[in-house]
Amino acid sequence: MRMEQRLDTLPSKEQIQAFPVFKNLPMQQIQVINCLEQCHALEQELKSCAVLGFDSESKPTFKVGEVSTGPHLIQLATLDKAYLFQMNDSIWDFLKPIFVNRDQIKVGFGLKNDAHLFRKKGIELNSVIELSKCFKAFGLNNPVGLKNAMALLFQVNFPKSKRISTSNWASKKLSPAQIDYAAADAYAPVLVFEELLRRGLLPKEIPNTSLKLRIRPSSTA
């Protein structure tokens, strides 16, 4: 999804609106997982990934003092597949080794809140790269959101629907719009990560040496 043209400054909202709309993974490359049997069938596939796009969704809370019971959906993605996990206790147990694994990088935007929710579940996220802070080379010292990152790196309009983002993520049957939205939020960060890696703009402190060699095979570092 590379573009020949490079932007050095953040485009305006009007410019972004005029960009071509982001092309998500096709539905046949998005898998919704809601039982342990599906998890086990994917185990080796997931364990082999050096880098995973990562995000989570929770059913919104509307009442004052209401505490979220989320995340209700966890999204992981590679360059060619997205995995949407509808969470329950057994799926939490299955995914925990991936979250704590220092040999698998999890990349995403706005992951601080995700980390907070995970800690409440007794899980510490390891080897996480917060991509919103990787744009200082563009003169952007404040965190950059996913929509702006996609516009800056790829000149595409990454749609963000408030209606879908605040929909019921605890629903047993997700709508096609929810599935598309959730997959994009994990898939796009992988594209951003790969492009920042290609341009040499990732943080130098990639979590560990063996991992660095897996994602940068040409590097001797």
Residue 9: the pLDDT is 85
Task: Give the residue carrying structure tokens 């309009």.
Answer: 157
Which candidate, 199, 201, 219, places its Cα nearest to that of 209?
Answer: 219
| Neighbouring-strand partners of residue 50 | none
Q: Give mean pLDDT in consecutive 10-residue pieces for the chain, a chain of 221 residues.
A: 66 95 98 98 95 94 75 96 97 95 93 83 89 91 95 96 94 97 98 93 67 53 39
Written as six digits, the tokens of 162 are 């408030």
- The boundaries of the domain holding residue 44 are 25-57+68-141+193-215
Per DSSP (E only), the strands in the chain are 30-33, 51-57, 73-77, 82-86, 105-108, 128-130
Residue 211: the pLDDT is 54
Which candidate, 96, 119, 120, places its Cα nearest to that of 106?
Answer: 96
Residue 206: the pLDDT is 65
Query: What CA–CA distance (Å, rounded) separates 11 from 17?
Result: 10
- Determine, yes or no, domain membership for 34: yes
Instruction: Please tell me the pTM assigned to this model.
Output: 0.90
Query: CATH code at 36?
Result: 3.30.420.10
- Determine, yes or no, domain membership for 120: yes
- Determine, yes or no, domain membership for 153: no
Residue 68: the pLDDT is 75
CB 63 within 8 A of CB 168: no
- Determine, yes or no, domain membership for 74: yes
Residue 196: the pLDDT is 93
- Determine, yes or no, domain membership for 202: yes
- Determine, yes or no, domain membership for 83: yes
Written as six digits, the tokens of 137 are 């080379």
Per DSSP (E only), the strands in 58-182 are 73-77, 82-86, 105-108, 128-130
- Determine, yes or no, domain membership for 205: yes
- Determine, yes or no, domain membership for 51: yes
Backbone angles phi, psi at 202, to 5 degrees: -80, 155
Residue 117: the pLDDT is 81
Provide the domain count of the chain. 1
